[in-house]
Structure 1
Amino acid sequence: MGSCCCSRDDEAKAEQKFGKGGEKDVSGGPVKNRHCTDVLCCIIFVLHWFGFAAIVFAGYADGNPSKLYLPRDFKGDYCDLEEYQGVKKLLRTLNVSATVDEVAKQLICSTAAEDALVTILSSADLDDYRCACCKLPCASCQASLGLQDIEDPATAASSIGSRMSEFTDPSKAAALFSSGSANAVSFDAEAIWGEMTKFMVAVCLNQTSCA
């Protein structure tokens, strides 16, 4: 048979309810002559309130609370503030530098362009050009640009023209997101949406449509 670890007297005491009188009288508090033991902490806590209030008022006086919620463009400027006062909308537009960078390099660094530049550039300038296009080993290049070469002006006009038309002709803008895009060799719809900060820039505008 198992045995109980507690006596009946202990069980009876445990069953007694708290109340006035008796050993479990806590009407005067669990400890006699109680007092605050954290006076210093209370003072520091109150001082922290005043310090926080001072910081808030100073920030409000010298700053602009609307900067907490107003959108910012790619330069970090706030829409509807200072030089953009009244310009409240934030839109994402095509980043021309990022999107046409490869197109420009394909044209400038092509064989057709090099053949034309050979006749007008000095030897030193030609070396600088070839270094910039990674056509020869130099400190700024780790490998070739890996661009499709264009060997003659006619091909350049056709290839570069079709690629640039998708950027400049609004009626062909949708072609950028199709598999048959002339720019599919550089990027596709998945790349654009996957690297929004690269291919799109945030700008403040007065309207939500460019139409």
Structure 2
Amino acid sequence: MQDKLTAPPEFDGPVRDRKCTDIIFTLAIIIMWITMTVVGISSVQQGDVRELLAPTDYEGNLCGFDDGYEDRGKLYYANNVGSGVCEKSCPSNDNST
């Protein structure tokens, strides 16, 4: 059986030399929280949630919402670059067209 560890007689505990070391981090978190709250409130008041929910084609048109694109709610990616085209339905695998 092993002996218990004992502190040296001059040890007075960790309380004597303690200090707060996270003041800067706490202030940074509070500043970030306030900034994100302001950005969130501004986004709700001035933003358009459709831009988050609707696909956007290569010209910036919101598929299914913008004028002339109300009946085109799907986005078809024509290449690998990330640009797409608003379509009424997904294209088929038929090569006749």
1:31 aligns to what SS in structure 2?
Answer: coil
Gaps of 5+ in 2: 92-97
1:202 paired with 2:85, answer yes
Rg larger in structure: 1
Tell me the number of residue pairs that the alignment of Structure 1 and Structure 2 aligns: 82
Q: Distance in 1 between matches of 2:32 and 2:43?
A: 16
**TM-score, length-scaled by structure 1:** 0.31
2:14 corresponding residue in structure 1: 31
CA-CA distance at 1:54 after TM superposition = 0.8
**Matched residue, 1:48:** 32
Which structure 2 residues correspond to residues 75-90 of structure 1 after superposition, within 5 A?
Answer: 75-83=59-67, 86-87=70-71, 89-90=73-74
TM-score (norm 2): 0.57
**Aligned 8 A contact 2:55 2:62 in 1:** yes
2-side partners of 1:41 and 1:91: how far apart? 44
Match of 1:63 in 2: 47
Return closer, same or farther for 1:204/1:76 CA change in 2, 3 Å cut-off: farther
Give distance in 2, aligned partners of 1:203 and 1:85: 7
Residue identity over aligned pairs, in percent, reads: 15
1:177-210 CA-partner distances (Å, limit 9, x unpaired)? xxxxxxxxxxxxxxxxxxx33xxx61243xx279
Question: Following the alignment from structure 1 to structure 2, what is the Cα–Cα distance between the partners of residues 61 and 84?
Answer: 27
Q: Kindly indicate whether structure 1 or structure 2 has the higher relative contact order, using CA contacts under 8 Å at least 6 residues apart.
A: 1
Question: Is there any run of 5+ residues in structure 1 with no aligned partner, and where?
Answer: 1-11, 25-29, 93-195
In angstroms, what is the RMSD of aligned CA positions? 3.4
CA contact (8 A) 2:63 2:75 kept: no
